[in-house]
Structure 1
Amino acid sequence: MLRRRPILGAPVAHGASQELKRTIGVFQLTMFGVGATVGTGIFFVLSEAVPEAGPAVLLSFVLAGIAAGLAAICYAEMASAVPVSGSTYSYAYTTLGEFVAMGVAACLLLEYGVSTAAVAVGWSQYLNKLLQNLFGVSLPHAITAAPWDTDPGIVNLPAIVLVVMCMLLLIRGASESAKANTIMVMIKLGVLAMFSVIAFTGFTTDHFANFAPMGGAAVGLAAGTIFFSYIGLDAVSTAGDEVKDPQKTMPRAIIAALLIVTAVYLLVTFAALGAQDWTGFEGQEAGLAQILDDVTGLSLWSTVLAAGAVVSIFSVTLVTMYGQTRILFAMGRDGLLPSMFAKVNPKSMTPVNNTIVVAIVVSVLAGFIPLDKLADMVSIGTLTAFIVVSLGVIILRRREPDLPRGFKVPLYPITPILSIVACGYILYSLHWYTWIAFGGWVIVVWAFYLFWGRHHSALNDGGDGVIASAAAGIDDVQIVTPPPDAP
């Protein structure tokens, strides 16, 4: 359970594809990070986080941004030292061993699966707002709300439709997905810039008078709710096998995405809080569009913003689904999941099987679970993954100091230690029931590993009768056991 995956020349499980096609450059990868991040925390998590902390949610964004920034710097070093798909799972496998890697995989699968569902639920809200503004009609409540929502429906059908559209684009190819995402991100940033300019016309400092109505502890709680929106920084590192010159490209993209995301979050949140009293955010659907309605008295600008949100939240769903499929691919290639998860279509060079599986699971979550039950579950997975990466930097520096690195963490070891402390503080602030649900999920994944995964690991040296060499490019070699009477 403590065996580690080699950084170079790791064995590949029987029946799994060895690698994906390298087509993504620095700009497209940066847009992956921005695309998966800007949108979730801004377009609809404000309605969850602002009621928890009031105007002090600005400090929550700063706290989450500091923790994410410290972790992002650690990600940059790990991505340059271990430039493979699988993100934190692969880093943990290389530094902490197979058992810990499966626990991290549980965090990542929870993080990506639930965040994709949460984003799809928010997309449904903005789609409804757009239809109201353009045609004066709304989709029936029965098909836009989950059964366990505050105002229950039957199923959130638009959320499921979004997941299916993303699935079809991902199956088509990584390069096509990256290009589509880049276009959507540029639209998103333009729309948010428009929102900020208009919201500042209705800005009043009175909205900040009662700055921290819930007290200081609420700042950490809201930071935990917000933190799932920083998942995009992890999503960059899931693309290791599809990036050109990954040792240089991945650190640059991670840091560039962090700077863009933090600046946009703070600008839009400040503008929104200045334009609307914090008490108005609770339960508000399509909140930014509603703020523009109230500030201008016209539906035109909120229609533009709702249209931009519909397009841009599509990009968040696309990238988070992409990230989860690549983690499953890495696990299948390592033999810790069935090899069907690491089968690559020879034409599109994409893992079609696991893309379909992810789409089915996420559709169920998005269609039947309300948004407020999803956000905290994503944060706990993201924070745990960030802590593991920071710890991995320290371990790899000590164990393999001469390993080539395209980027090194500044102020080592202070930076990774601060990252661990900051993420740990936010974890401590989360609700107790989030911990129980999270712990139960990790136990399920570890049980699967103990009963199945460890027996099929590619590190078993032919435990399934086959060794595939990734390093030498040798075809599968059958291991033949000699008869007992052989010399």
Structure 2
Amino acid sequence: MWRVKSLDAILATAQKKSLHRSLGAFQLTLLGVGAIIGTGIFVLTAAASQKAGPGMMISFVIAGAVCAVAALCYSELASMAPVSGSAYTYTYAVMGELLAWMVGWALILEYAVAASAVSVGWSGYVLGLIENALHFDWPDMLQAGPAWTMNGFVPTPDFSAGVVNIPAIVVALAVTMLLMIGTTESARVNALLVVVKVAALTVFVVLTLPILQTGNFSPFAPNGWFGPENTTGMGIVGAAASIFFAYVGFDAVSTAAEETKNPQRNVPIGLIGSLAICTVFYLMVAVGAVGAIGAQPVVGADGSAVQPGSAAFIAACQLAENADRLVCSNEALAHVLREINFPAVGNALGIAAMLALPSVILMMIYGQTRIFFVMARDGLLPEAFSRVHPKWKTPHIVTLFTGVAVAIAAALFPVGQLADISNSGTLFAFFMVSLAVLMLRVKDPKRHRPFRMPLVWIIAPISAAGCAFLFWNLPFDAKMVLPIWGGIGLVVYLLYGIRKSHVGRGMFDVPELDPDAPPGPVPPMPGAPSPTDDGRGHH
């Protein structure tokens, strides 16, 4: 269970097939901004308001700070091993197979559940456009999944607010089909979508800041820092744990380390620069939304604080006096613009979100299939997951499997709960990466690090503690998903992965293949050196 897959084996292909270093700090920063801005700011602003009220502005800063230190840890490992597999690959090289499996299993919560959350966010904006621009009343039962409550450890659905989210299913399956047949977004289209997203947020800020009313900022923290007594995941810190979802995507910068000129300088500039730009944007959007129409949370029938997406929250939002509240909107930013008499601009922002968010879904599902693909190629999952379609040249089986799972989750769960569940997997993976950086500094201090993190014995522990702190402040049901999901994963590993592992069977696969190339392990001669070994242990 503790066997490692050496960095030398992982790096063999990267050394043979090095990429051209062409990216500078500016390009990396734009790459990060494009990857980060997505459902978090367009949709979760409402959920954060319900948890923290106007205090969600501090929540954005807390989440951004934790992301910044985690990003530095991620970058050192990504620059050393710029290959597929993300935190799973790094953990395999440092901590061994069992923990690598648990990280890979947790990354399913990050990528697949995040794709579901973005699908639900996209659905909210599309339905808002249909109802406000086309004046068509979409059936309530088909625009949202049920509200879920925990009856002990058993999730119980409440179908009073909805049964199934049809638009979320449509977009998830449409993106899955695109990925299966090999249609990928070009750099030009992606750059255009970045411009669309940034322009939409800029217009929102320009229209809302001049009319803000200071009275809307009071009370600033109606639920305090940690929420009322006997509640979890509420208050400013609870909102920070949820809004962490708005920053996920910065790892696109760290995984581009191999293509970066002077990575020691440009990778941290790209990471911290993109996080800083997005944090400032998010703060201005939050100030604009709060100042324009207010962001006070709704309360349950008994006057108590209620979680966004819960049955009590949905009941409160169905009351006539709460219908226009920011916290009750499924398309928060477009809703604000309509409330301040810019309905046409609100519809235009809805169109911008509708165009831009599918690219985020595509990136999330693609990332998930790559994790599955690498785990299957290591023998820890069935080989069918690493099969490549003869015509489309894509891992079609795992893509279809992932897409259907994403569509089911999007159909049945609200965006806030999906984001919190996704965060639980992400925070666990980032926590393990923070530890891996320290362990590798001890185990292999002389290895070349294209990006060497400064103050590693201060920043990495802060990163690990920050991830643990945010995880602890997630809602109870989101926290419980991770150990239950991890327990299921452990059973799968003990029944299948531990016996089928290629490393355990002495088989070393090429660690980084294009999806176009059919995977296949190559058994080496017993005791043979790695392909780049010069016979003295040097590479």
TM-score by length of 1: 0.87
**What residue is the counterpart of 1:15 in the other structure?**
none
Deviations 1:298-317 (A, max 9, x none): 31110111001111222221
CA distance, structure 2, for counterparts of residue 176 and residue 49 of structure 1: 31
- Residue 353 of structure 1 pairs with residue 362 of structure 2: no
- Residue 261 of structure 1 pairs with residue 286 of structure 2: no
Match of 2:288 among 263, 266, 271: 271
Superposed, 1:177-256 pairs within 5 Å as 178-217=187-226, 218-234=235-251, 244=259, 248=263, 254-256=271-273
CA distance, structure 2, for counterparts of residue 24 and residue 111 of structure 1: 29
Could you list the runs of 5+ residues in structure 1 that have no partner in the other structure?
13-18, 481-487
**What residue is the counterpart of 1:422 in the other structure?**
466
Match of 1:378 among 399, 422, 425: 422
Residue 247 of structure 1: CA displacement?
9.2
Bigger mean CA deviation after superposition, 144-153 or 246-255? 246-255
SS where residue 242 of structure 2 aligns? helix
Residue 153 of structure 1: CA displacement?
2.9
Residue 343 of structure 1: CA displacement?
2.8
Deviations 1:222-264 (A, max 9, x none): 1111112222124555778xx7469948766544432332232
The answer (yes or no) to whether the contact 1:85–1:239 under 8 Å persists in 2 is: no
Amino acid of the structure 2 residue aligned with 1:73: L
Deviations 1:38-86 (A, max 9, x none): 1222111111111111111111111100000110111111100121111
The answer (yes or no) to whether the contact 1:123–1:310 under 8 Å persists in 2 is: yes
Deviations 1:386-424 (A, max 9, x none): 111111111111111121212111222111111112222
Deviations 1:3-36 (A, max 9, x none): 1111122499xxxxxx999799748876664344
- Residue 167 of structure 1 pairs with residue 176 of structure 2: yes
The answer (yes or no) to whether the contact 2:71–2:254 under 8 Å persists in 1 is: no
Change (3 A) 1:23 1:204: farther
CA distance, structure 1, for counterparts of residue 488 and residue 87 of structure 2: 19
Amino acid of the structure 1 residue aligned with 2:41: I
The answer (yes or no) to whether the contact 2:169–2:407 under 8 Å persists in 1 is: yes
Amino acid of the structure 2 residue aligned with 1:287: A
Change (3 A) 1:50 1:468: closer
Superposed, 1:321-470 pairs within 5 Å as 321-345=365-389, 349-462=393-506, 468=509
- Residue 96 of structure 1 pairs with residue 140 of structure 2: no
SS where residue 370 of structure 2 aligns? helix
Name the % identity.
37
CA distance, structure 2, for counterparts of residue 381 and residue 326 of structure 1: 16
The answer (yes or no) to whether the contact 2:267–2:451 under 8 Å persists in 1 is: no
Change (3 A) 1:393 1:478: closer
CA RMSD, aligned part only? 3.1
Residue 126 of structure 1: CA displacement?
0.3
Residue 335 of structure 1: CA displacement?
1.2
Residue 145 of structure 1: CA displacement?
1.5
CA distance, structure 2, for counterparts of residue 106 and residue 97 of structure 1: 14
Aligned residues: 467
Change (3 A) 1:76 1:475: closer
Change (3 A) 1:392 1:403: same
CA distance, structure 2, for counterparts of residue 21 and residue 137 of structure 1: 54
**What residue is the counterpart of 1:53 in the other structure?**
52
SS where residue 212 of structure 1 aligns? coil
Change (3 A) 1:356 1:253: farther
Residue 474 of structure 1: CA displacement?
11
**What residue is the counterpart of 2:5 in the other structure?**
5
CA distance, structure 2, for counterparts of residue 330 and residue 146 of structure 1: 33
Amino acid of the structure 2 residue aligned with 1:224: A
Residue 271 of structure 1: CA displacement?
1.6
SS where residue 431 of structure 2 aligns? helix
**What residue is the counterpart of 1:16 in the other structure?**
none
Change (3 A) 1:171 1:210: same
Q: Which structure is higher in helix share?
A: 1
Change (3 A) 1:184 1:474: closer
**What residue is the counterpart of 2:127 in the other structure?**
128
Change (3 A) 1:138 1:402: farther
Change (3 A) 1:456 1:304: same
CA distance, structure 2, for counterparts of residue 30 and residue 329 of structure 1: 28
- Residue 81 of structure 1 pairs with residue 126 of structure 2: no
- Residue 292 of structure 1 pairs with residue 301 of structure 2: no
Between the two structures, name the one with larger relative contact order (CA 8 Å, sep ≥ 6): 1
The answer (yes or no) to whether the contact 1:116–1:321 under 8 Å persists in 2 is: yes
Could you list the runs of 5+ residues in structure 2 that have no partner in the other structure?
148-157, 227-234, 297-324, 513-518, 527-539
Residue 166 of structure 1: CA displacement?
1.7
